[in-house]
Amino acid sequence: MNGLWDALMGLGDQLAAHVLLSAAAIALGIAVALPLAVWASRSEKVARAALTFASLVQTIPALALLALFFPILLSLRAVFGEWLPTLGFLPALLALALYALLPILRNAVTAQANLDPGVNEAAEGVGMSFRQRLLLVEAPLAAPYIMAGIRTAAVWTIGAATLATTIGQKSLGDPIFAGLQTQNWVLVLAGCIASASLALLADTLLGTIERGFRERRRVLVIGGLMTVALGVGGALFAQFGGGEDEDRVVIGAKGFSEQYILARLIGQRLEAEGFAVEYRDGLGSAVAHSAAASGEIDVYVDYTGTIWTNQMKREDTLARDEMYAAIEQWETENTGIKMLGRLGFENAYGLAMRQEVATSGQFESIADLAARGQAMTIGGDPEFFERPEWIAVRDAYGLRFAEKRNFSPTFMYNALQSGEADVIGAYTSDGRIEADRLVILKDPRGAFPNYDAVLLLSPEAGRDAALVDALTPLVDAIDVEAMREANYSVDREEDKLSFDEAARRLAERAGL
């Protein structure tokens, strides 16, 4: 229980960010929904169109809605210019505000529609203007209903805001995704408890305001509003009261253990050199690369094969050094991203099986799998079957399976152990390969490209000599055994290390 308490206490920063994001999204939702509701009350057509739109938005899964704002904002850069952020706060805010729209709008429209017609006639009869009718009659009578809508929106938004982690916005989703990654249930639980408590608190406060409106008790309304303002103000102070934000080095990490550890390793090194750092964890693969190109993040670790196939859309493979040179040239010409160098290990995709299965079925290479594996089930992470690497391997060997299943990277290994999958798309630097006694099938046709881990810097960060100097010692410093051990130290079931601790030990072992 001590671990849980510590994990909860460590969430201050995420909590503040979560509060600000949710509050901003709800405020924006209100700012859009209320005028729309007033307009809708004057026009049946507008009412129908607005409600249909809001309901439609609601049917989009929150995660997808968040993800969609990345390409939308990216294309809007053509209009607004390069300063427009495509990751982090802005897309999260927009997506969540859209999500918050429906309950507020629906309740406001319903409240208007249910207004006693006698009251409307009286308002007209006593000579109220449009404005007076709105302010003196409609607003106060609709207020409790609108407040109930805001309350619902708040609970939804606070819950959905945990997903903002995936597009690089700090939130209480950080510990949830990080914990899910490494089966660190204490972290997951801490994130859930924190966001659920926040939702309950918001629900209670807004419920108090709603009751104040309903029972016409001004004390409740003002008290509730002031408490909400206090909370948001506190979060604002916690986020921005601590001084300059601009000079921080933003370190990106994709959503798996190795990335979290390497981000910490980089962060610890930079902090020791006197830099202030900030982490953007859990980014999608394509998102991370674009984020570095646009300067949303300053530094992160990627893999040559990933850039080769996903960003450069190459389907051939080259020898290791030639590939590295080609990528470096492509980045210089297309994104301005600076490749600082290889870290010294490879984290390739490979197809892994349990040793017993491989031995008994005499599976040695992917070709064997193509010949005798048609009845098997293959598991992969959610990206795997969409990736060009998989398609290349599949087509190179003519692979066919009975079933394809997606697992989060963590559960994939469990699935292999429990027999839910017979073969998985694994990562060669994963500590669980050794620990679980897995075999990586040989790739005689070289269909999987090379996956050297490389250190990438955004164009701006690449010009920062001090930063480059601080990071250069990492080049060629980490071998695959060291990386596997570090990965395993956070992935194993028992005696897990935190990312920070694993990064410290890795640095020590690598002599950094």
Partner 1 sequence: MTAQDAPALSFRDVAKHYGDTRALEHVALEIPRGQFVALVGASGSGKSTLLKTVNRLIDPSAGEVLFEGEDVAALPLPALRRRIGYVFQSIGLFPHMSVAENIAIGPRLAGERLASSRIEELLRLVELDPDLAMRMPDALSGGQRQRVGVARALAADPHLLLMDEPFGALDPVTRDALGERVRALHEELGLTTVMVTHDMAEALLLADRVLVMDAGQIVADETPAALVAGKGGEVAQALVTVPRHQAQRLAELSR
Tell me which residues touch partner 1 (CB under 8 A): 116-129, 132, 136-137, 140-141, 216
Using the minimum distance from each CB to partner 1, give the nearer residue, 121 or 315: 121
- State the nearest-atom distance from the C-beta of 131 to partner 1, in Å: 11
Using the minimum distance from each CB to partner 1, give the nearer residue, 209 or 378.
Answer: 209
Torsions phi, psi of 301, nearest 5?
A: -105, 130
- Least distance in angstroms from the C-beta of 146 to partner 1: 14
Shortest Å distance, C-beta 105 to partner 1: 22
Nearer to partner 1, 124 or 322 (CB): 124
> Smallest distance from the beta carbon of 121 to partner 1, in angstroms?
5
The residues that bridge with 282 in the sheet, in sequence order, are: none
Q: How far apart are CA 416 and CA 23, in angstroms?
A: 42
Nearer to partner 1, 125 or 511 (CB): 125
- Separation of alpha carbons 28 and 39, rounded Å: 17
Q: How far apart are CA 189 and CA 325, in angstroms?
A: 44
Surface-to-core class of residue 201, CB atoms within 10 Å of its CB (0-12 exposed, 13-18 middle, 19+ buried):
middle
Pick 9 or 219: Cβ nearer partner 1: 219
Indicate the residue among 136 and 192 with the shorter CB distance to partner 1: 136
Work out how close the CB of 143 gets to partner 1 at its nearest, in angstroms, rounded to a whole number: 9
Angle of helix 44-59 versus helix 12-42 axis, rounded to 10 = 150
CA distance 390 to 212: 59
How many Cβ atoms from other residues are within 10 Å of residue 332's Cβ?
14
Q: What one-character-per-residue DSSP string does 228-264 give?
A: HHHHHHHHHHHHHTTS--TTPEEEEEESSHHHHHHHH
Query: At closest approach, how far in Å is the CB of 286 from partner 1?
Result: 53
- Of 26, 14, 1, the C-alpha closest to 194 is 14
- Residue position matching structure tokens 């609970």: 155
**In the bound complex, what is the minimum distance in angstroms from residue 219's beta carbon to partner 1?**
17
* Complex with partner 1: residue 127 or 398, whichever CB lies closer: 127
